[in-house]
Amino acid sequence: MNVVEGNGAKIPAIGLGTWELRGRACARIVEQALRLGYRHIDTAQIYENEREVGEGLRASGIKRDDVFVTTKVWTSHFKPKDLERSAKESLARLRLTDVDLLLLHWPNPQVPLADTLGALARVKQAGLARHIGVSNFTVALIEEAVAACPEPLTCDQVEYHPYLDQARVMEACARHGLALVAYSPIAKGRIRNDRALARIGDRYRKTAAQICLRWLVQQNVSAIPRTSRLERLQENINVFDFELSGEDMREISAMGSASGRLTDSGFAPKWD
Ligand code: 1BO
């Protein structure tokens, strides 16, 4: 299996993102993904689907230890007295005794970061999470988190695709041995209509989405495309039988800009 390493963790290079998947449809696609060969499922408290992710996992018949499961603590549970309880609630919904990776979902300036990271490290030490990390952290926050966390951090999970330049975050991750995990890796579906990527795809007999995912994998990034469609599940994981040339890699990287973000972070806590 192709994996991306982050401070001791081996994260499968392609996973299934479950943001905005709910109910039966979520359980079914998780089950189908695992049956197709996916070994990495990403959920979060705020997605309100941890229960269904656990159902899909059990229905697939794949052994728990063969699947890399990530969940994320929402910002309203960042006070040390809340964090462990909230992690245990996630495990109860998933019906698991631990997760492979537990992330702080979004920076929360209202709680001192060192306090939250101390609590996150204790959750790991208690055996509830095999690895811990962060999500949506900027370069400055990665530096602060690495210095403050009593346990090694495994990754920063951020929005990343060809339209969004994340070079500085990638450099910060590499400096500290963190993996970068990309959410919205096909830019909420926009990549599927990208003419430049489709043109590159013609040369490799691959779709624009596969070119995009391959571009991420070749940068040693783990990508978690979301889909609720079986044919797209198949398409998204079929990216390990070809290699993009250096020239194509550079052409795709040149498409990105600092203003390419698509995620509305309006609901996340505000900095003063
Ligand atoms: C609110 C969800 C952003 C990606 O996890």
- Mutational pocket test of ligand 1: of 103, 108, 263, the residue with most ligand atoms within 8 Å of the beta carbon: 263
**Closest by CA position to 155, among listed 169, 175, 134, 174:** 134
For the chain, the maximum distance between any two Cα atoms, rounded to a whole number of angstroms, is 55
Q: Which residues does residue 133 pair with via DSSP β-bridges, in sequence order?
A: 103
pLDDT band at 271 (very low <50, low <70, confident <90, very high): low
* Residues that are catalytic: 47
Main-chain dihedrals φ then ψ at residue 17, nearest 5 degrees: -85, 145
Residues with CB under 6 A from ligand 1: 19, 44, 46, 183, 263
ipTM over 0.90: yes
pLDDT for res 1: 83
257 DSSP assignment: B
> What pLDDT digit, counting tens, does each position of 121-138 carry?
999 999 999 999 999 999
pLDDT for res 128: 98
Report the C-alpha gap between 259 and 264 in whole angstroms: 13
| Nearest Cα residue to atom 2 of ligand 1 | 19
Q: What are the Cα distances from residue 154, in Å, to 70, 225, 234, 256?
A: 12, 20, 27, 25
Q: Is the pLDDT of residue 270 over 90?
A: no
Report the C-alpha gap between 217 and 272 in whole angstroms: 36
Report the C-alpha gap between 51 and 127 in whole angstroms: 20
HSE (CB half, 13 Å, CA atoms) of 118? Answer: 8
Atom of ligand 1 nearest to the CA of 268: 1
- H-state helical runs in 38-179: 50-60, 80-94, 113-125, 139-148, 167-175
Q: Is the pLDDT of residue 272 over 50?
A: no
Atom of ligand 1 nearest to the CA of 184: 4
Residue percentage of the chain with pLDDT more than 90? 96
> What pLDDT digit, counting tens, does each position of 22-55 carry?
999 999 999 999 999 999 999 999 999 999 999 9
Distance 73 CA to ligand 1 centre (A): 11
**Closest by CA position to 54, among listed 99, 10, 109, 96:** 96
Report the C-alpha gap between 181 and 79 in whole angstroms: 25
**15 touches 40 (CB < 8 A):** yes
pLDDT band at 268 (very low <50, low <70, confident <90, very high): low
Atom of ligand 1 nearest to the CA of 159: 4
pLDDT for res 267: 60
pLDDT for res 264: 76
Sketch out the chain's domains with CATH numbers: 11-254 (3.20.20.100)
Distance 130 CA to ligand 1 centre (A): 22
Mean pLDDT rounded to a whole number for the chain: 96
Q: Which residues does residue 158 pair with via DSSP β-bridges, in sequence order?
A: 182
